[in-house]
Chains A and B, each alone.
Chain A
Amino acid sequence: MSERLYINADEAKITYREFARVDMQMYDGRVFTDLEPRRLFPLSGLTKYITLIDRDMKEVAIIRDLDHILPESRQALEKCLDEYYMIPKITAILDRKEKNGLLKYKVDTNYGIREFDIRNRHSDIKNLYDGRVLFRDSDDNRYEIPDITKLDKKSWLKINIDL
């Protein structure tokens, strides 16, 4: 097993390539191209431990923390991650209905207004301890309320029953 390559700070320069992929040039001259950044902890660590995977789905390196790398590199990576991970942030609950055993939600998100169904309120709505609420709809799409305490009262009253 070869030693894992960790990127801690400015030892690598990462540039956006296309289609949510990047190229990476190390300070020692090594060059890795066509890499796909993915979060190792998509729920609990949005900016930490970003793995870079090559075309053969082999990990090339891990970035320990986006906050510690070069600003341009960070920008390139964030662009890829934003493209790859689509977890719309719910800003308001516009409607909530219960029909035929399905919860029908209409929400406003940073991607626009969306309607979706929740099959099982027990397993598909997760109330995390940091105030986040995660939803998984009947098509396996994800949504997030970043901070339940910041929702307006009307929205809170609608969602409260499912938390």
Chain B
Amino acid sequence: MDDAKPLINKAMPDDARGWVESQLCDGEKVLFAVVGDLSLFEKYDACTLIVTNRRAVIVDKNHENGFFSAVFSDVEKVNVKRMYGNARMNFKMKSGEEVTVFRYTYAVAELCDVAAAFIEAVSRGEDIDEQLEIVSAAYEKKMRVCPKCGRTLIRPGAECIKCQSKGKIISKLFKYVKPQGALLIIALIMSMMSTALALLPPSLTQRLVDDVLPNKKEGDLITIVLILLGSYIIGTLLNASRGYMLRIAGDRIVRYMRNDVYEKAQHLPMKFYDKTSTGSVINRISGDTNNLQAFALRISQEIIVQLFMLVGIVIIMFLKDWKLSLLALCPVPIVVLGAKYFSRKIAPFYRRIWKRWAAVSSVLTDTIPCVRVVKSFAGEKRATERFKKYNDEWYKVDVSSAKITTTFPAIVSFVITCGSLLIWGVGGTWVIKGFGGLTPGLLVAFLSYVSMFYGPINFFAYLSDSYQGALSSAERVLDILDAEPEPDFGHGNCPEKIEGKIEFRNVNFSFDRAKKTLSDINLTIEPGDIVGIVGTTGSGKSTLINLLMRFYDNYDGEILLDGQNIKDIDMGYYRSKIGYVQQEPMMFSDTIFNNIAYGVPDAHIEQVINAADVANAHDFIILQPDGYDSMLGERGVGLSGGERQRISIARAVLKNPSILVFDEATASVDSETENQIQEAIERLIYGRTTIMIAHRLSTLRKANKIVVVDKGRIIECGSHDELMALKGKFYRLIQIQSMSEQVRQQKEEEHFE
């Protein structure tokens, strides 16, 4: 501790540094400091919490003399109150006085939590060095950020996934374009050939007008017509073949891109889906990849072809008549400047249109799969109104963007037409006056070239439009492709045998910074244990399971399986060893057989039948007209809740997992079905570590350990009898439930009669 530099999150402000320089006593040294961002009276200001080996000091102008100091021995408790967008640290002094000493935003909330725990622990007389180690770990975690973008890295020294893959959008798209190189190069050569052929007719027309027709050369006329016909036939063949090749290349690009985005979407952590609607993800996989495909083809083909055409025409035009060529170039600056302006104007519209469209898609993905709920609550009208509202919003934004997208091309056309008129006017006068040797044929040919010349100019002017659209799509696709996947540091580490011992050590977790969902979870589950987790709704039971399933990895503390940190075990292997049965079993749009065999796709038919038998599902499956081949809808249409649940248990049975997790598996079924499911569960759990979250406490009769969770903490843990004797929360829950159970049974019996 003596030689260590104080831990600090950022440079100390002058007043705090001044305090350190002038106020430290002999032998006193700063251990760590948190530079906050808010003053006591709610203004952004750099205030500092300084913790020395003797006391805690808060430097804030709003304290008397500019700071507040409390020696550890005077502090009884440190309360941290997280509010909305800010938090407060209160010191409860041994004198009984409680005082708010520090305010801060969520930017430093984690460090302040640790600081508060340190001050409180040291005040209780705990070892200062030991406590400092915890603080040091928190600082290390906090400071583990990418030097480029400031994102928190998943482990020290890890490469920032966002920055690692950061680059120009075009270079990223090139990854998908490159494999189609051969096809695209052939298509490009064909394009250039057809473009070169397209430059031929005006020259031939000039000869026809100036030489062949006035001099009545019939033989030359037939030759020129045949040459023109030949060039048209070759041009058509080249364009058709090129179109076919581009279609193939384009489809391959979008196929690979979609595959990549979908694959990545599968490996994104749950926190990504917590913040992103499924409608928006689907939109990105379907619509945005199409936009990018079109853009990839444009930049790999059209740009080169149009550039080739532009250069070719300019050379020919200047060779034919440089004075008229200069006239033809007059509208170009207007078109180019207009395009720049247009590009700036249109960019926000593309984003808005997409946002509105994503909102429309979200309504679709919410309501169409839940059509039963919508109908049962007579919500058709409301659903339609909601859809209309979002669709109208999309319409409004699209219409307002249409003003720009349609006005700009019209102006460009007008400018181009004016350019042609200029050439007609000036060129026509020169022909009439015989100025500069300009012939009628040359003028006609020149006008043809001018109309062709404005084609590429138009293309480049509109390129910004499609570029903006693609840029917007690319951002959203890359948002998925570049998102941090679920970390799998233990990839390849597959322990030979899983005994099933699970330990939670000092686990703390929060979904966001506003509220801790789990606090100080310490729990040991021995192999073969049947553990019931009980607690009221929202107490943190399911979150506990979410962490065990590694749906969220950003918790503090450790979860161990057979003594090994679960983060160090291969994720796929780890999850394959856990059978997870949820309250709302999800069925895939597939056969019953494939739904059961989902976790073991190569399972033998009899294994699947056995699994269904163990799960008490076989008996109802055989009564289905299509048996195991019965198709199930997205939410298992055609099966009751209990039947779906038994299929999901069969799914778990087939995996032959070492650990079983039941998350309120019988919460939404009647007593008889519950008994059938319970029977299936009892058959399944034999010899396996089993964790059961139970709403109905009667389902925990086989549990040898019961854990009671309340407000994110374990408040009771023991056998059924021990907890009953304790007469605590579990005892109260049992009492309440036995009363409601009686009422439920009574109602079921009445219904039966």
Contact = CB atoms under 8 A, between A and B. Distances in A.
Interface of A: 18-20, 42, 57, 82-88, 99-102, 109, 111-114, 117, 119-123, 127, 138-142, 160-163
B728 interface: no
29 contacts: A18-B98, A19-B98, A19-B100, A20-B83, A83-B83, A84-B83, A86-B42, A101-B149, A101-B482, A102-B149, A102-B150, A102-B151, A112-B43, A114-B44, A122-B358, A138-B150, A138-B151, A139-B109, A139-B513, A140-B512, A140-B513, A141-B105, A141-B106, A141-B107, A160-B348, A161-B348, A161-B351, A162-B348, A163-B351
B347 A140 contact: no
A85 B148 CA distance: 32
Contacts of A102: 149-151
B106 A19 contact: no
A100 B84 contact: no
Nearest to A125: B355
Contacts of A42: 84
Interface stretch (B85-93, B262-270, B294-302): B85-93
Contacts of B98: 18-19
Interface string B56-98: 0000000000000000000000000101111010100000001
A163 B85 contact: no
B276 interface: yes
Given A88-B44, A100-B148, 13 more contacts: A19-B81, A19-B90, A82-B42, A86-B85, A86-B86, A100-B146, A100-B163, A102-B150, A111-B43, A122-B358, A123-B276, A141-B105, A161-B348
A117 B351 CA distance: 19
User: At the interface, is chain B mostly helix, strand, loop or mixed?
Assistant: mixed
Nearest to B86: A86
B476 interface: yes
A102 B145 CA distance: 14
Contacts of A83: 42, 83
Contacts of A87: 84-85
A24 B44 CA distance: 32
Chain A binding surface SS class: loop
A141 B150 contact: no
B87 to A, nearest CB: 9
Contacts of A112: 43-45
B355 A122 contact: yes
Contacts of B38: 86, 111
Nearest to B165: A101
A84 B84 contact: yes
Give 9 nearest A-B pairs by CB, closest first. A100-B149, A112-B44, A86-B85, A86-B86, A139-B107, A85-B84, A140-B513, A84-B83, A139-B106
Nearest to B162: A101
A91 B84 CA distance: 20
Contacts of B347: 161
B595 interface: no
Interface of B: 38, 42-45, 81, 83-86, 88, 90, 98, 100, 105-107, 109, 146, 148-151, 162-163, 166, 275-276, 280, 347-348, 351-352, 355, 358, 476, 479, 482, 512-514, 711
Given A19-B98, A101-B166, A139-B105, A85 B85 contact: yes
A120 B479 contact: yes
Interface-centre pick from B81, B84, B148, B150 (highest chain A CB count, 10 A): B84
B462 to A, nearest CB: 20
B346 to A, nearest CB: 11
Nearest to A121: B351
A110 to B, nearest CB: 9
A55 B483 CA distance: 41
B475 to A, nearest CB: 8
Nearest to B105: A141
A100 B166 contact: yes
A83 B38 CA distance: 12
Residue in A85, A88, A127, A139 whose Cβ sees the most chain B Cβ within 10 Å: A139
Contacts of A88: 44, 85
Contacts of B85: 85-88, 140-142
B105 A122 contact: no
A20 B88 CA distance: 10
A140 B514 contact: yes
Contacts of A114: 44
Contacts of B44: 88, 109, 111-114
A137 B241 CA distance: 52
A163 B347 CA distance: 11
A59 to B, nearest CB: 14
Nearest to A126: B355
A82 B86 CA distance: 11
A42 B476 CA distance: 29
A141 B85 CA distance: 5
Contacts of A99: 149
Contacts of A111: 38, 42-44
Nearest to B44: A112
Contacts of B482: 101
Contacts of B109: 139
A20 B87 CA distance: 12
Nearest to A124: B275
Contact of B83 (A85, A127, A160): A85
Nearest to B110: A139
Nearest to B108: A139
A163 B349 CA distance: 9
A19 B88 contact: yes
A122 B351 CA distance: 9
Contacts of A161: 347-348, 351
Contacts of B90: 19
B691 to A, nearest CB: 27
A18 B348 CA distance: 47
A75 B151 CA distance: 41
Contacts of A141: 85-86, 105-107
Nearest to B160: A100
A73 B152 CA distance: 44
A113 B151 CA distance: 22
Nearest to A119: B151
A18 B84 CA distance: 17
A100 B145 CA distance: 13
B386 to A, nearest CB: 13
B162 A100 contact: yes
A8 to B, nearest CB: 26
Contact of A163 (B84, B151, B348): B348
B10 to A, nearest CB: 13
Nearest to B355: A122
Given A111-B43, A161-B347, A86 B105 contact: yes
Nearest to B90: A19
A19 B38 CA distance: 16
A44 B162 CA distance: 34
A122 B348 contact: no
A83 B162 CA distance: 36
Contacts of A163: 348, 351-352
Nearest to B83: A84
B276 to A, nearest CB: 6
